[in-house]
């Protein structure tokens, strides 16, 4: 039985890894993209890196590079979109934060929400740590907690009880945060306006009343969506419909 499981794992494990040929092709494309970037040919750099992105590469540093290329190519909306995607993976990268701040300073729409919300201050770890880090911490603290309970159970060490309680607090915090992150990823979507200027309308038709206008790089929250349109919210009180092509989901 054990031998069968082992063989199954050995068969399935390579399927989870990227094909070697794909990795080599991505490496060639990446080198070409960096070369084009240095020679100010940002269009080529974008084209090569988009191909890599379509192959499924998910890496904060790579998203940062793509944001840089778009910003240099004067595509502010797509630049901020890739910076936001990178920030989810590398929230503390100083280069990324610097460039993202600079890109945001070029946007034209001012939000009426506070720059630093109490939510962000109180739940600082959610915004300062990447989602992978939070998941890892939750698993580690959870493992520590149950290990301590086990030690207490088997060896009857009473002092372990207080250590277990101390470990339980961060374990619960990181578990809840990780679960919220999964929920947020599945159900709460944000997007970035890609087009230079886009009208947010009261309905799905072009003849619907234009409610307000947003510009490239503005971050919005997606309330709901259908095949062609997104219902978006901007700020506290602005809500309306926009074509899907005008917004990139983070």
Partner 1 sequence: MRNQLILWVCCLWILSGWTPAQAAVAVTAQVDRTFVSPGQSLQMQVKVSGDSGEVDLSPIVDFKVRSLGTSSSVQIVNGRMSKEVSYNYLLIPRGKGKLTIPPLTVTVAGQSHRTEAITITVSDTPPAGRQGVAPDKEVWVTGELSEKNPYTGQQITYTFRFYRGVPIDDAKFQPPGFKGFSTQEVEDRHSYRKIINGREYAVTEVYFILTPLEEGEWTVDPAVVNVGVLRRRRGGGRSPFDDFFNRSVVEPRVLQTKPISVTVRPLPPLPPDRAFSGLVGRFTMTAETESTHLAVGDSATLTIELQGKGNIADAQHPDLALPAAFKSYADNPEPEVVADRNGVSGKMVFRTALVPVEPGRYVLDPVRVTYFDVDKEAYHTLKVQLPPLTVVPGASPDSQPLTVTPGTLPLLKKRVDFTGRDILPPKEGLAAIQPHKPMGWPLFLVLLAAPASIYGMVVITQRVRRPDTSAAAVMKGRARQALKRAASARTDEAFLSSLYQALTAGIFSAAGRSGEALTWKEAESVLLENQYSEEDAAAAAKLLAEIESTKFGGQTLPDGRRKTLLDETRTMTRKLAP
User: Can you say whether the dihedral through the CA atoms of 43, 48, 54, 57 is positive or negative?
Assistant: negative
Does residue number 72 form part of the binding site for partner 1 (CB under 8 A)?
yes
Residues touching partner 1: how many (CB under 8 A)? 53
Element (H, E) at 248: strand 247-249
Taking the C-alpha atoms of residue 192 and residue 10, their distance in angstroms, rounded to an integer, is 42
Does residue number 210 form part of the binding site for partner 1 (CB under 8 A)?
yes
Find the binder of partner 1 among 6, 150, 165, 169 (CB under 8 A): 150
Taking the C-alpha atoms of residue 245 and residue 64, their distance in angstroms, rounded to an integer, is 22
Q: Find tokens 């739940």 and name the residue.
A: 123
Does residue number 70 form part of the binding site for partner 1 (CB under 8 A)?
no
Taking the C-alpha atoms of residue 87 and residue 216, their distance in angstroms, rounded to an integer, is 19
Find the binder of partner 1 among 21, 56, 118, 159 (CB under 8 A): 56
Residue 134 Cβ vs partner 1, minimum distance, rounded to whole Å: 10
Closer to partner 1 by CB, 211 or 223: give it: 211
210-215 and 219-225 strand pairing: unpaired
Taking the C-alpha atoms of residue 5 and residue 98, their distance in angstroms, rounded to an integer, is 49
Find the binder of partner 1 among 69, 129, 160, 192 (CB under 8 A): 69
Find the binder of partner 1 among 46, 60, 81, 247 (CB under 8 A): 60
Greatest pairwise CA separation for the chain in angstroms: 75
* Binding stretches for partner 1 (CB under 8 A): 16, 18, 26-27, 30, 34, 37, 52, 56-62, 64-65, 68-69, 71-72, 74, 89, 95, 98-99, 102-103, 108, 131-132, 135, 138-139, 142-143, 145-147, 149-150, 153-154, 175, 178-179, 182, 196-197, 199, 207, 210, 213
């Amino acid at each position: 039985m054990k031998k069968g499981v082992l063989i199954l794992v050995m068969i399935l494990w390579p399927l989870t890894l990227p094909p070697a040929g794909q990795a080599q092709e991505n490496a060639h494309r990446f080198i070409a993209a960096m070369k084009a970037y240095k020679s100010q040919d940002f269009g080529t750099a974008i084209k090569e890196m988009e191909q890599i992105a379509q192959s499924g590469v998910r890496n904060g540093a790579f998203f940062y590079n793509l944001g840089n290329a778009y910003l240099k190519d004067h595509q502010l909306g797509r630049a901020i979109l890739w910076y936001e995607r990178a920030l989810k993976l590398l929230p503390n990268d100083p280069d990324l934060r610097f460039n993202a701040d600079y890109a945001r300073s070029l946007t034209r729409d001012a939000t009426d929400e506070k720059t630093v919300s109490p939510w962000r201050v109180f739940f600082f770890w959610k915004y300062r740590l990447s989602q992978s880090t939070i998941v890892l911490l939750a698993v580690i603290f959870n493992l520590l907690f149950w290990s301590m309970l086990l030690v207490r159970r088997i060896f009857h060490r009473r002092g372990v009880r207080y250590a277990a309680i101390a470990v339980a607090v961060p374990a619960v915090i990181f578990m809840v945060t990780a679960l919220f992150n999964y929920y947020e990823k599945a159900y709460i979507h944000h997007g970035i306006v890609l087009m230079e200027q886009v009208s947010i309308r009261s309905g799905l038709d072009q003849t619907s009343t234009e409610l307000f206008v947003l510009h490239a790089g503005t971050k919005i929250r997606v309330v709901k969506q259908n095949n062609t349109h997104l219902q978006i919210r901007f700020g506290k009180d602005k809500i309306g419909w926009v074509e899907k092509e005008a917004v990139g989901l983070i």
